């Protein structure tokens, strides 16, 4: 063993150490930014830090978290879904009309729409189409269908859904329990099961997976179907809170969902995503964009710009930290 090799070995260990630290920091960042936003809210409006306050501030974060998880599945497979927002709106319209008046048909429509998502995955894989183009096109299809189902705002959520979303468990507010549940279930499914590894691998190294004998068509179909499933859950949760629907209700979710995934430690390519991070990211975005801004008393002319500025600051902090890994 020469001095040089010892030195390089040492340097390697130091590098590894630095990398591990940066990786840990990246893992902690979503939680850190959420804590930071919560502290700011607590300082601006102590009244909000209460059972009632959390129930109100976070209940609209649940549909955002679900839409973010949907987007996360698509991003895990190196694709991007620009239609998730209008899809959530479409599901909302079906929930407020068919699902209440004719539950069986409603369920069939929603299952069918998940099927459409799965088919989209197959189409994108088989024809090697860019997912951005396909899903952008689909966003207009979903929007059009939503207007067909509900030409004027209205409809009413089914009673069981209303009572579910208004559920008040003792001690811990419902939105927090729901967020924990979503994060735990998806984390287990995607990070801890063997097929979850295959799914992420299809985005990380597709060629290797294919050579090992796994069907990439199947992984893509499964990822898109999961996105559709969580999109449906998001739309239903949203209508359970708002009680009534509007064809444009979900349009803002497309970009929020993408930002939530990235804020939660995901990457656009390489199958690197984190379900827990995505849920935390969605909660952070929901809190930073609305309650924080409202509590800061920014003049109306600047509110719109401030909303965007907060988004950029939060995402920039995330990029700065992940750059240290390289």
Partner 1 sequence: MKKMLVLGAFAAMLASGTAFADTSGKKIAFSNNYAGNSWRQAMLDSYGIVTKKAVEDKVVAAADVFTTADKEVPTQAAQVQNLILQGYDAIVINAASPDALNGAIKQACDAGIVVVSFDGIVTEPCAYRVVVDFKDMGKQEVEQMAKFQPKGGNLLEIRGLAGTSIDDAIHAGILEGVAAHPEFKIVGSVTGDWDQTTAQKAVATILPSLPDIVGIVDQGGDGYGAAQAFAAAGKPRPTIIMGNRQDELKWWKEQKDKDGYQTWSASIAPGVSSLAFWVAQQVLDGRTDIPHDLLVPYLAFTQDDFEAALPKIKEGGVATHEYSQEDAIAAIKANIK
Among 29, 37, 38, 57, binds partner 1 (CB under 8 A): 57
Return the number of other C-beta atoms located less than 10 Å from residue 268's C-beta.
Answer: 13
Among 42, 218, 242, 267, binds partner 1 (CB under 8 A): 242
C-beta of 241: minimal distance to partner 1 in Å? 6
Q: Which is nearer to partner 1, 213 or 299 (CB)?
A: 299
Q: Which is nearer to partner 1, 56 or 123 (CB)?
A: 56
53-88 in b/e burial notation, b at 16+ Cβ within 10 A? bbbebbbebbbbbbbbbbbbbbbbbbbbbbbbbbbb
C-beta of 298: minimal distance to partner 1 in Å? 9
Check binding of 122 to partner 1 (CB under 8 A): no
Check binding of 164 to partner 1 (CB under 8 A): no
Classify burial at 36, counting beta carbons within 10 Å of its beta carbon; exposed 0-12, middle 13-18, buried 19 or more: middle
Q: From the centroid of its chain, how far is CA 170? A: 27
Check binding of 236 to partner 1 (CB under 8 A): no
C-beta of 5: minimal distance to partner 1 in Å? 58
Residue list 23-52, contact with partner 1 (CB under 8 A): 45, 47-48, 52
Check binding of 231 to partner 1 (CB under 8 A): no
Q: Which is nearer to partner 1, 77 or 291 (CB)?
A: 291
Among 187, 290, 315, 321, binds partner 1 (CB under 8 A): 290
In the block, residue with structure tokens 């952008």? 136
Q: How far apart are CA 190 and CA 321, in angstroms?
A: 24
Check binding of 235 to partner 1 (CB under 8 A): no
Which residues sit at the interface with partner 1, rule CB under 8 A?
Answer: 45, 47-48, 52-53, 56-57, 59-60, 63-64, 151-155, 238, 241-246, 248-253, 286, 289-291, 294-295, 297, 300, 303-304, 307-308
């Amino acid at each position: 063993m020469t001095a040089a090799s010892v030195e390089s070995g040492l340097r390697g260990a130091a590098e590894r150490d630095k990398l591990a630290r940066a990786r840990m920091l990246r893992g902690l960042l979503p939680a850190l930014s959420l804590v930071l936003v919560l502290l700011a809210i607590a300082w601006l409006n102590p009244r909000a830090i209460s059972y009632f306050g959390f129930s109100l501030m976070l209940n609209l974060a649940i549909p955002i978290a679900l839409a973010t998880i949907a987007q996360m599945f698509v991003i895990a497979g190196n694709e991007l879904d620009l239609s998730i927002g209008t899809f959530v709106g479409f599901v909302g319209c079906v929930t407020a009309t068919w699902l209440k008046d004719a539950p069986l048909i409603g369920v069939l429509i929603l299952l069918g729409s998940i099927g459409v998502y799965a088919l989209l995955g197959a189409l994108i894989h088989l024809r090697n189409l860019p997912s951005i183009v396909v899903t952008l096109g689909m966003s207009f299809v979903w929007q059009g269908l939503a207007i067909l189902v509900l030409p004027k705002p209205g409809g009413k959520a089914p009673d069981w859904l209303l009572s579910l979303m208004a559920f008040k468990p003792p001690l811990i507010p419902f939105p927090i329990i729901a967020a924990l549940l979503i994060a735990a279930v998806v984390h287990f499914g995607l990070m801890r099961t063997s097929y979850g590894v295959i799914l992420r691998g299809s985005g990380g190294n597709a060629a290797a997976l294919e050579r090992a004998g796994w069907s990439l068509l199947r992984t893509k179909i499964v990822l898109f179907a999961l996105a559709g499933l969580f999109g449906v859950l998001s739309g239903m949760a949203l209508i359970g809170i708002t009680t009534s629907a509007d064809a444009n209700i979900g349009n803002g979710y497309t970009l929020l969902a993408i930002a939530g995934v990235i804020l939660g430690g995901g990457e656009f390519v390489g199958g690197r995503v984190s379900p827990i991070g995505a849920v935390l990211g969605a909660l952070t975005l929901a809190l930073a964009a609305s309650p924080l801004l409202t509590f800061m008393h920014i003049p109306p002319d600047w509110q719109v710009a401030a909303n965007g500025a907060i988004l950029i600051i939060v995402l920039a902090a995330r990029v700065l930290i992940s750059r240290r890994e390289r």
